[in-house]
Amino acid sequence: MFKPTVGPIIGHTTTNHARIFLRGETQDDALVFAGIRYRPVGDERWTKGLFTKLSTLRDMSDVIALNDLSEDTAYEYQAGWISPMSPVHTVETVQELPLQWPREIYRFRTQSSKVTRPRAYIIGSCRYLRMTAGKPSSPLRGDRIFDSIKKLVDQADPPISATLMTGDQIYVDDLNIIAPDREYNEILSKYRAAFSQPNICKLMAGTPTYMILDDHEIEDNWPANASKSDDELYRNAMNAYELYQASHSPAHELYDNGLVNRSRLEHYWYPLSEGDIEWFVTDSRTRRTLSADDRRILDEEQEQVLLKWLVNSPARVKFVVTSVMFYPDRKSHGDDAWKAFPEQRLRLLETIRTHRIKNVIFVSGDVHGSLTSRLTHSEDLDFDIHTIVSSPLCNSKLLPYASESTFILDQPLAQTAAGDYRHELTSKVVSQDNFAHVVVEAQEIRVNYHDRDGNLLQTIDIPLR
């Protein structure tokens, strides 16, 4: 068997289930299968291999689901692909072959259902890996920060439960003026390059990774900049996104037999939970309505599901991921974020305030700067929400970093008859490549920002109520 050409990537993981993405390679017209075998750490016997048949329709990639796992248990696994000589093999018959598995052994851990346990997460966005003639022109620079993240993950206490990548994992539109990529194979090559660099491979092979797209998975400021000629670009970009980012996410449901439902996705947003912490990962990019009479950054169905989740979820802490900033607003170029959809933003805020929902944290990236901020209400002293912004993982020399002067901080976010929504920074604005290490404890959320070498830049404590 051969090592995966991309992956393995540990995706959605629960107390008893894990999804693993991997890619093989075409072998002329021969059959190709990808497989995984696993065992609890400490056991000597591997499970029988789980295999899937690979197809060029999915760029020789697939997701294998591991089911009936034990809670809060460390597992190790091997992954690879094979093209058997016989043209009549199936996923069942390949299991019986005397295979030589790749030597690499990867590890992951299932969730614990204990609600009192501290949890920790890595949050990041915007990883620019400039492509020239189909190859990354500075791969070491684009992959450098993931070595620092992996070292932190290996030493973290409490252990890192997941990595949240909140947008712009690739830049389809890098070098957009000179040589824009629009063809499906060109976009696929960017995913292969971005997700096969050595350090990000090591991180994603052992830490559950959750992703959501932003504009650069399609085109800068999508869909505001879309033209009639972009229909094919959008279709190609979304097909590639579904293969490499959405395929291992909770957006895909499971069949009763434990296999991942491969039918076309109805939406990209999804909820996930761990103990008494829940996340709602929104799609704030592909379901926008830009008409003047009903502007929406989230489509109506998604908004209603999100509002019901906010009101009805019993979670102690609720993270809402939105790839573009919920607040504060930017002085310029803010029309690509929630600033341009004030009515819908106010509906969310009023729901949180009037239902007295506590410990709501908005998580985002996009702006190439990192910060935390607090939002309060002039007449309702019980209202209090926070935002955590983490961006970028790797910036381009062509793009500026955000600074404190980037944001509107001297006026209310929104003014209503019931009072004003007022915000303030609770951190310095980080204007360099960085990532966030977020720890949820009993009384507070601790946000640690680290630079690309892993050095601690600042720590912010957000009290929980």
Q: Taking each helix axis as running N to C, give the angle between helix 342-354 and helix 300-312, from 0 to 180 degrees, rounded to the nearest 10.
A: 20
Q: Round the average pLDDT of the chain to a whole number and report it.
A: 94
CATH 3.60.21.70 in the chain, residue ranges:
119-463
Least confidently predicted of 123-132, 230-239, 285-294: 123-132
CATH number of this structure's domain 119-463: 3.60.21.70
Per residue in 58-68, pLDDT tens?
999 999 999 99
Going by the DSSP 8-state scheme, the letter that residue 343 receives in this structure is H
Q: Do residues 160 and 119 make contact, with C-beta atoms less than 8 angstroms apart?
A: no
133 has pLDDT over 70: no
User: Residue 427: its pLDDT value, please?
Assistant: 98
Angstrom CA distances, 287 to 248, 282, 305, 331, 354, stand at: 21, 10, 14, 24, 27
Per residue in 305-343, pLDDT tens?
999 999 999 999 999 999 999 999 999 887 899 999 999
Q: What average pLDDT does the segment 220-244 reach?
A: 93
Four-residue CA torsion sign, 258, 262, 266, 269: positive
Per residue in 288-304, pLDDT tens?
999 888 899 999 999 99
Pick from 259-273, 390-404, 447-461 the range whose average pLDDT is largest: 447-461
Angstrom CA distances, 452 to 75, 150, 465, stand at: 29, 11, 32
Bridge pairing between strands 209-211 and 160-165: parallel
Report percent pLDDT > 90 for the chain: 86
User: Residue 199: its pLDDT value, please?
Assistant: 97
Going by the DSSP 8-state scheme, the letter that residue 371 receives in this structure is E
Going by the DSSP 8-state scheme, the letter that residue 383 receives in this structure is -
β-strand partners of 28: none
User: Residue 179: its pLDDT value, please?
Assistant: 58
User: Residue 346: its pLDDT value, please?
Assistant: 98
User: Residue 388: its pLDDT value, please?
Assistant: 98
User: Residue 461: its pLDDT value, please?
Assistant: 98
Residue type, 346: L
Spatial neighbors of 8 by CB under 8 A, at least 6 apart, are 20, 21, 22, 36, 77, 79, 106, 204, 205
Query: DSSP 3-state assignment of 193?
Result: helix
Least confidently predicted of 30-44, 146-160, 165-179: 165-179
pTM of the predicted model, to two decimals?
0.96
CATH 2.60.40.10 in the chain, residue ranges:
6-109
The two structure tokens encoding residue 406: 């980037």
Question: What is the second-level CATH architecture of the domain 6-109?
Answer: Sandwich (2.60)
Query: DSSP 3-state assignment of 346?
Result: helix
